[in-house]
């Protein structure tokens, strides 16, 4: 069996050991993840957040993974989709009471926002160089 095109992730949320993938354009989403997500993308959407089960290189079983898409690169969409992603992680680790447990949620939210901005910045740098 050939190498899956979905075995590449963008990183792992270290403390929770949760893999994530970030798409910063509709083209990237179409190329990498449409088949995995299994939904028709409304092209007018500014972003989306999904929980996936994917096969990741070096890990034999299907694995829980977060997909964070920010297509318009706006702070509004970045924070919105990362908010969904952070809540998904809280649910995944069994921390449902984010109101009285605000710091883990807010640190995670900031961490994910950093990761999305890192990727957008790198792409912008690549474009102008
Ligand atoms: Zn939303």
In the block, tokens 């095109």 appear at: 5
* 75-117 residue pLDDT tens: 999 999 999 999 999 999 999 999 998 999 999 999 999 999 9
Centre of ligand 1 from the C-alpha of residue 82, in Å: 9
Is 50:81 a contact under the CB 8 Å cutoff?
Answer: no
Q: What is the pLDDT of residue 34?
A: 73
Centre of ligand 1 from the C-alpha of residue 79, in Å: 10
Give the residue among 74, 84, 76 at the shortest CA–CA distance from 108.
Answer: 84
Centre of ligand 1 from the C-alpha of residue 6, in Å: 24
| Number of domains making up the chain | 1
Band the pLDDT of 41: cuts 50, 70, 90.
Answer: confident
Is 81:51 a contact under the CB 8 Å cutoff?
Answer: no
Q: Which structural domain range is residue 87 located in?
A: 2-128
Whether the full predicted model's pTM is greater than 0.75, yes or no, is yes
Centre of ligand 1 from the C-alpha of residue 50, in Å: 10
Centre of ligand 1 from the C-alpha of residue 76, in Å: 11
């Amino acid at each position: 069996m050939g190498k899956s095109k979905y075995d590449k992730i963008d990183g792992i949320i270290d403390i929770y050991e949760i893999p994530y993938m970030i798409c910063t354009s509709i083209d990237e989403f179409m190329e990498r993840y449409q088949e995995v997500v299994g939904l028709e993308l409304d092209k007018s959407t500014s972003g989306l957040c999904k929980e996936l089960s994917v096969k990741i290189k070096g890990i034999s079983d299907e694995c829980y993974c977060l997909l964070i898409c920010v297509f318009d690169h706006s702070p509004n969409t970045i924070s919105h989709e990362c908010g969904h992603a952070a809540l998904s992680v809280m649910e995944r680790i069994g921390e449902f009471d984010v109101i009285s447990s605000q710091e883990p949620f807010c640190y995670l939210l900031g961490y994910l926002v950093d990761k999305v901005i890192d990727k957008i910045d790198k792409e912008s740098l690549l474009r102008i160089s």
